């Protein structure tokens, strides 16, 4: 095609370098050849886009490093490396020459490390073999191994102690962080330890899944010692539910926790909560039983579960996600008799059901449509299926407690979702109203001061900036922004007990926006490191959408806000939200990190 | 800073350095550090590699600034050094890849860790309207990927012309090719880029692991 044309003329046309008559001539030529016209137009678009590419900052101060290195060498007065006489050139050459010794040094260190690793592995193999032999025939070893046993035992106990202390530390850090954030003291949040908690509980599988974007689990929601986890077990992992028999629960639980810590097994549910474990299991701790008994549904669910698993009151159940290859080892460990009695059993073991990303998205779409059809439904639910708000404002910590009644609204959407045949049955079941935990009784509206509504409205307007033909919609959005402003003003002026009215205005504002909550892109420097966020997500998809990307930071109880959303503390790691996340403008630019930035992980599906 | 100002500053600083004032070296190099890093980055598509290339190139600039005659602008001359260094780096990398078992990686060459897309997106803000911003951002991403896949000679001409805004004369000087060749190479580079873009549009299956830039060159 293009071979028949004059390349130079075409490139001049693309570059806009032709005189008017030349441009007209090429225009006429392109009019007669639609294929070429498309190509040239695409090339022009490429050129325009390329020219708009921003210059990226230099990640390391190359020049400064270079000059400092050269200056140091000049000051050290090392001998010239060759015949060069120019001091700058000599210093540059010296600097370069130092790369060689540095490489040699690195190589030698690597060699030493490899030798040490090899020696260590030999020692470990020898120890393992001696241990196996000892188990095979202790009599062969006489008195000698007794010393080894004592040493090993002491080591093992020390390792256990350290592992448990580590877990406790992480747990405490997570609680402290949440507590600090709740009280507005963001600086006190021990983020380093939280990051470690995150590393412990959410290793490669989560990252891989987030990156591959191909498969997602059905809701996998659980809590552990130190972290609540919306976990995403790998394909090669199995969920295991373990029952610890009540008469020796504390000791056995301690033993198991130690074993899990030593084998790097992720505990995904503590004994006080078991939600959405592949299926819709739901269990409350004894401490919550009284309250749960008020709700016949929960009590019956609990009784049914206990009956199904032959649990006695006081028995505890917890869950782990374990590598498939570790399952036999776990079973062997579990079956080991302790003091002649069986104290723990595996009561359920299953590989997680996986759900295609497309299905999750479809679920969200359906929920959105269901929401749109539900008159008077709460703002946000199902419309913006995942939105995240910065909640902990140092000046005004979120504090409103009100009896929220989101369940009807939630269930309208969820029921529509469950009826749809396109969903995987497990997901449909999870999204059934009956399968959802009913938070209505103990829900706490962790509401902000109107900032969120303002943001929603402003964002909605922003979204339509580029497509503002719909004047009615624009008017609505402007009204929403005004309402949100009024809400903020009211919230500022009103004492805490009148926040409820502000919330109503807030919801009206969000309703009036009548547009998906698309958050604007901005604030480029915030997402440089892990940060702790409070995330507000719709109740029905918190496990299936959010959970696959954002690990939660703490076992702090989940809180249901009004509008049927769950507020979650999450640790967001930049590496884990790549491609799915967009950084958005903090509600208040003066609010310090880690709460300042907002994050959305999944954009709403485009309207059909 | 305008180009003219940069040029004026360049000349003064270069003169100072050539007269033996080593204190002028820092300002001179810093003046071009970011620009040259971006040339390097667009060429090698990897931030760490780009920094490494830049460091090597800076050393060469330092070593040779005394012999810089001023026939071309300092910016063009330094760009040429970075470009040569980047091409040399790419060739070494290609050699390493060829001999490596990992050569069949599916990822594009511009993978820069899991967060790269986010970082790139973050760097691409400030366009009007969220929808068009997203589309624009996606196009930029795709262009980056396509750019990383085309032949380095084509990449170089596009980097200099479109990303650095050099005129044909500067492109010719920086790449050490005849002025008359620049336009035809630029057209072929745009064509190769378009072909890669279309392949990327069709999806990963349509994108071969290695570039077929030679085909585009014909």
Among the listed residues A535, A576, A579, the one whose alpha carbon sits nearest the alpha carbon of residue A559: A535
Q: Do A43 and B17 touch (CB under 8 A)?
A: no
pLDDT at A317: 67
Alpha-carbon distance values, A117 to A120, A122, A218 (Å):
5, 9, 41
Among the listed residues A151, A596, A103, the one whose alpha carbon sits nearest the alpha carbon of residue A392: A596
Q: Which long-range contacts (CB under 8 A, 24 or more apart) does A151-159 make?
A: A152/A127, A159/A262
Say whether pLDDT at A265 is over 80: no
**What are the backbone dihedrals phi and psi of residue A322, each rounded to the nearest 5 degrees, phi first?**
-135, 145
pLDDT at A122: 66
Give B-chain residues touching A205 at CB under 8 angstroms: none
Share of chain B above pLDDT 70, in %: 69
Closest residue to B66, CB basis, from A51, A70, A86: A86
Is B37 in the A-facing interface, judged by CB distances under 8 Å? yes
Q: What angle do CA A433, A436, A440 make, to 5 degrees?
A: 95
CA-nearest residue to B197 within chain A is A46
Is A49 in the B-facing interface, judged by CB distances under 8 Å? yes
Tokens for A565, please give them. 């959303």
Is A36 in the B-facing interface, judged by CB distances under 8 Å? no
Say whether pLDDT at B20 is over 80: yes
Highest mean pLDDT out of A70-84, A525-539, B75-89:
B75-89
Between residues A107 and A114, the one the model is more confident about? A114
pLDDT at A570: 38
Tokens for A508, please give them. 């009206």
* Tally of CB atoms within 10 A around A598: 25
Highest mean pLDDT out of A182-186, A292-296, B93-97:
B93-97
Between residues A191 and A502, the one the model is more confident about? A191
Give A-chain residues touching B188 at CB under 8 angstroms: 7
**Helices and strands per DSSP (H, E), number in chain B:** 10, 0
Residue burial A52-66, b: 16+ Cβ < 10 Å; e: rest: bbeebebeeebbeeb
Is the distance from CB of A583 to CB of A576 less than 8 angstroms?
no
Highest mean pLDDT out of A46-55, A358-367, A422-431:
A46-55
Q: Do B62 and A92 touch (CB under 8 A)?
A: yes
Is the distance from CB of A380 to CB of A538 less than 8 angstroms?
yes
Alpha-carbon distance values, A522 to A476, B125, B140 (Å):
24, 6, 17
* Distance separating alpha carbons of residues B62 and B60, to the nearest angstrom: 5
Between residues A482 and B55, the one the model is more confident about? B55
Interface residue of B113, B126, B190, B215 to substitute, partner A, most A CBs within 10 Å: B190
Between residues A135 and A323, the one the model is more confident about? A323
Tokens for A544, please give them. 């299936």
Highest mean pLDDT out of A57-71, A351-365, A481-495, B168-182:
B168-182
Residues ≥6 apart with Cβ < 8 Å to A164: A254, A257, A258, A261
Average pLDDT of the segment spanning B147-155: 89
Q: DSSP letters along A157-168, please?
A: HHHHHHHHHHHH
**Diameter of chain B by CA atoms?**
58
Highest mean pLDDT out of A125-129, A386-390, B59-63:
B59-63
Between residues B20 and A237, the one the model is more confident about? B20
CA-nearest residue to B128 within chain A is A466
Q: Do A49 and B136 touch (CB under 8 A)?
A: yes
Question: Beta strands of A68-182 (E only): which ranges?
Answer: none
Say whether pLDDT at B29 is over 70: yes
Tokens for A415, please give them. 């029921």
* Tally of CB atoms within 10 A around B166: 23
Q: Do A211 and B114 touch (CB under 8 A)?
A: yes
Residues ≥6 apart with Cβ < 8 Å to A571: A194, A195, A197, A198, A530, A531, A532, A533, A550, A551, A552, A553
Residues ≥6 apart with Cβ < 8 Å to A353: A217, A218, A278, A424, A426
Residues ≥6 apart with Cβ < 8 Å to A352: A217, A218, A220, A233, A237, A238, A239, A278, A321
* Distance separating alpha carbons of residues B130 and A107, to the nearest angstrom: 50
Between residues B139 and A167, the one the model is more confident about? B139
B28 Cα to chain A: minimum distance (Å) = 10
* Residue pLDDT, tens place only, A18-29: 888 888 988 888
Residues ≥6 apart with Cβ < 8 Å to B12: none
* B114 confidence band (pLDDT: 50, 70, 90): very low
Interface pTM, i.e. ipTM: 0.75
* Distance separating alpha carbons of residues A101 and A96, to the nearest angstrom: 10
CB pairs under 8 A between A and B: 166
* B158 confidence band (pLDDT: 50, 70, 90): very high
Average pLDDT, rounded, for chain B: 74
pLDDT at A496: 33
Say whether pLDDT at A126 is over 50: yes
Beta bridge partners of A535: A568
Q: Do A521 and B121 touch (CB under 8 A)?
A: yes
Is the distance from CB of A441 to CB of A294 less than 8 angstroms?
yes
In 3-state terms, what secondary structure has residue A573? coil
Q: Whats the size of chain B, residue-wise?
A: 218
Interface residue of B49, B113, B115 to substitute, partner A, most A CBs within 10 Å: B115
**Residues 453-472 of chain A whose Cβ lies under 8 A from any Cβ of chain B:** 459, 462-463, 465-467
* B23 confidence band (pLDDT: 50, 70, 90): confident
Highest mean pLDDT out of A415-424, A431-440, B184-193:
B184-193
Strands ordered across the beta sheet of A565-572: A386-387, A531-538, A565-572, A559-561
Share of chain A above pLDDT 70, in %: 16
Residues ≥6 apart with Cβ < 8 Å to A222: A228, A229, A230, A231, A268, A269, A273, A274, A275, A276, A277, A319
B206 Cα to chain A: minimum distance (Å) = 18
pLDDT at A12: 87
* A72 confidence band (pLDDT: 50, 70, 90): confident
């Amino acid at each position: 095609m293009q071979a028949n044309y004059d390349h130079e003329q075409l490139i001049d046309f693309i570059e806009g370098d032709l005189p008017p008559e030349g441009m007209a001539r090429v225009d006429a030529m392109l009019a007669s050849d639609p294929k070429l016209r498309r190509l040239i137009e695409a090339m022009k678009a490429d050129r325009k886009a390329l020219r708009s590419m921003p210059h990226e900052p230099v990640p390391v101060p190359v020049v400064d490093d270079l000059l400092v290195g050269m200056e140091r060498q000049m000051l050290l007065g090392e001998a010239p490396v060759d015949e060069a006489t120019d001091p700058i050139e000599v210093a540059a050459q010296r600097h370069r020459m130092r790369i060689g010794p540095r490489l040699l040094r690195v190589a030698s260190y690597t060699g030493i490390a490899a030798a040490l690793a090899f020696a260590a592995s030999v020692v470990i193999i020898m120890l393992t073999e001696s241990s196996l032999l000892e188990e095979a025939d202790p009599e062969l070893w006489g008195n000698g191994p007794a010393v080894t046993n004592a040493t090993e035992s002491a080591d093992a106990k020390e390792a256990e102690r350290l592992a448990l202390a580590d877990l406790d530390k992480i747990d405490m850090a997570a609680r402290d962080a949440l507590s600090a954030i709740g009280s507005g003291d963001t600086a006190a949040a021990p983020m380093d330890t939280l990051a470690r908690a995150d590393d412990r509980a959410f290793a490669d599988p989560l990252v891989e899944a987030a990156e591959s974007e191909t498969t997602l689990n059905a809701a996998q929601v659980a809590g552990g010692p130190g972290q609540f986890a919306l976990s995403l077990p790998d394909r090669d992992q199995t969920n295991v539910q373990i029952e610890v028999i009540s008469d020796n629960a504390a000791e056995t639980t301690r033993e198991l926790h130690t074993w899990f810590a030593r084998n790097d097994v992720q505990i995904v549910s503590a004994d006080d909560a078991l939600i959405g474990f592949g299926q819709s299991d739901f269990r409350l701790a004894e401490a919550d039983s009284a309250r749960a008994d008020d709700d016949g549904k929960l009590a019956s669910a609990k009784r049914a579960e206990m009956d199904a698993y032959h649990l006695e009151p006081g028995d505890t159940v917890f869950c782990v996600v374990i590598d498939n290859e570790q399952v036999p080892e776990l079973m062997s460990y579990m079956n080991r008799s302790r003091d002649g009695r069986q104290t723990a059993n595996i009561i359920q073991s299953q590989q997680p059901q996986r759900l295609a990303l497309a299905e999750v998205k479809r679920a969200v779409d359906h929920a959105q449509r269901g929401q749109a059809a539900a008159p008077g439904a709460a703002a946000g639910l199902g419309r913006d299926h995942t939105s995240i708000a910065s909640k902990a404002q140092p000046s005004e910590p979120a504090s409103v407690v009100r009896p929220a009644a989101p369940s009807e609204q939630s269930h309208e959407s969820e029921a529509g979702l469950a009826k749809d045949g396109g969903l995987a049955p497990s997901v449909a079941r999870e999204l059934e109203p009956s399968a959802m935990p009913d938070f209505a009784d103990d829900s706490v509206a962790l509401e902000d001061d109107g900032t969120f509504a303002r943001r929603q409205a402003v964002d909605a307007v922003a979204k339509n900036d580029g497509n503002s033909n719909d004047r009615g919609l624009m008017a609505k959005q402007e009204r929403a922004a005004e309402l949100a402003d009024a809400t903020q003003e009211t919230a500022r002026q009103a004492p805490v007990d009148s926040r409820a009215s502000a919330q109503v205005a807030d919801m009206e504002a969000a309703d009036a926006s009548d547009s998906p909550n698309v958050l604007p892109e901005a604030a480029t420097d915030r997402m440089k490191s892990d940060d702790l966020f409070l995330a507000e997500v719709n109740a029905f998809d918190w496990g299936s959408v959010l959970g696959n990307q954002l690990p939660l930071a703490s076992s702090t109880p989940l809180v249901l806000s009004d509008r049927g959303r769950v507020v979650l503390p999450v640790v967001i790691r930049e590496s884990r939200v790549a491609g799915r996340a967009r950084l958005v403008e903090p509600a208040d630019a003066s609010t310090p990190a880690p709460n300042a930035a907002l994050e959305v992980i999944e954009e709403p599906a485009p309207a059909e | 800073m305008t180009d003219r100002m940069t040029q004026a500053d360049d000349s003064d600083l270069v003169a100072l350095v050539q007269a033996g004032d080593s204190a002028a070296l820092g300002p001179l190099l810093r003046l071009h550090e970011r620009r040259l890093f971006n040339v390097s980055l667009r060429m090698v598509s990897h931030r760490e590699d780009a920094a490494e290339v830049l460091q090597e190139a800076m050393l060469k600039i330092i070593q040779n600034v005394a012999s810089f005659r001023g026939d071309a602008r300092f910016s063009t001359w330094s760009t040429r050094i970075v470009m040569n260094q980047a091409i040399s780096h790419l060739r070494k990398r290609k050699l390493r890849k060829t001999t490596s078992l990992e050569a069949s990686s599916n990822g594009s060459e511009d993978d820069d860790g899991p967060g790269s897309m986010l970082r790139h997106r973050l760097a691409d803000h400030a366009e009007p309207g969220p929808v068009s911003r997203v589309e624009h951002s996606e196009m930029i991403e795709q262009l980056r990927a396509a750019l990383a896949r085309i032949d380095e000679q084509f990449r170089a001409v596009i980097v200099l012309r479109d990303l650095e805004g050099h005129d044909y004369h500067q492109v010719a000087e920086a790449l050490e090719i005849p002025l008359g060749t620049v336009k035809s190479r630029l057209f072929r580079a745009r064509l190769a880029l378009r072909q890669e873009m279309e392949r990327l549009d069709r999806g990963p299956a349509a994108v071969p692991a290695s570039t077929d830039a030679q085909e585009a060159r014909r």
